[in-house]
Amino acid sequence: MTLFDISGKVAIVTGSSRGIGKAIAHRLAEHGASVVISSRNAVSCDEAAAEINAAVGREAAIAIAASISSKGDLQRLVAETQERLGSIDILVCNAASNPHFGSMATISDEQFSKTLQNNIISNHWLAQMVAPQMIAGGGGAIIIVSSIGGLKGSAEIGAYNISKAADFQLARNLAVELGPQNIRVNCIAPGLIKTDFARALWEDEATLKRVTSTAPLRRIGLPDEVAGAAVFLASPAGRYVTGQTVVVDGGMTIG
């Protein structure tokens, strides 16, 4: 039981009012952590926190709304978490943006900038903000939810894939810099998961058939099927893993 025990740990999970982030927050709470639910929508955050608390049978989750595009919001998120729950031990950067669906030839400068800002720079900001607390506490775990899109090109979500590839390197670089202070930094790269964020992909029958036809498991994933990787990376079970990308895709990248 102790291998995956994170009792007493404090975790922030961005983009956690729904989808993959919510599933990760739920499983972290289930394994003993106190978890901050965060997204732009305060009502959705409150609802997700209440649902998780009911499921785990304790007051494990609190809600702090914040936009990843605002450095001020993220500073407030970190400060309020520390004030209400204590020093942060686990950071899961799950929130991301994909404002453009189509070729790189048609993406606007504003859309490209937003993609890079929210999917890379905001993760960097958060890592900077929590690292001093983790160092003072003797270590910690930072997890960036990237995507298998960062491993290949795409005619529809090229800018998104570029940002997700950059997240792999962000994790590697942070792992090198923070490893001596016992802070581990890793990525999770999900395949196509049944979330609202990816609805444009899995709702289209032709796309869904193309994606699943060569995948060994012949299906797309569910949010909870990504959460286990986050628990592993955040817990003592993953204490010798850093700078890595854990691919959770049902074999899509090998099909």
Q: Give the model confidence (pLDDT) of 161-186 as tens digits.
A: 999 999 999 999 999 999 999 999 99
> Is the Cα dihedral 149, 155, 158, 160 positive or negative?
negative
91/159 Cα distance (integer angstroms): 25
Assigned domain for 255 exists = no
- Which positions are catalytic? 160
Q: What is the pLDDT of residue 210?
A: 83
Find the domain containing 167 and state its range: 2-248
Assigned domain for 138 exists = yes
Residues of the chain with pLDDT under 50: none
The answer to whether the beta carbons of residues 9 and 234 sit under 8 Å apart is: yes
Q: What is the pLDDT of residue 216?
A: 93
Q: What is the pLDDT of residue 46?
A: 98
Q: How many CB atoms lie within 10 A of CB 16?
A: 31
Assigned domain for 149 exists = yes
The alpha carbon of 129 is separated from its chain's Cα centroid by a whole number of angstroms, namely 16
Domain count, the chain: 1
Assigned domain for 210 exists = yes
230/22 Cα distance (integer angstroms): 12
Assigned domain for 253 exists = no
Assigned domain for 66 exists = yes
The CATH number of the domain holding residue 129 is: 3.40.50.720
Assigned domain for 254 exists = no
Q: What is the pLDDT of residue 87?
A: 97
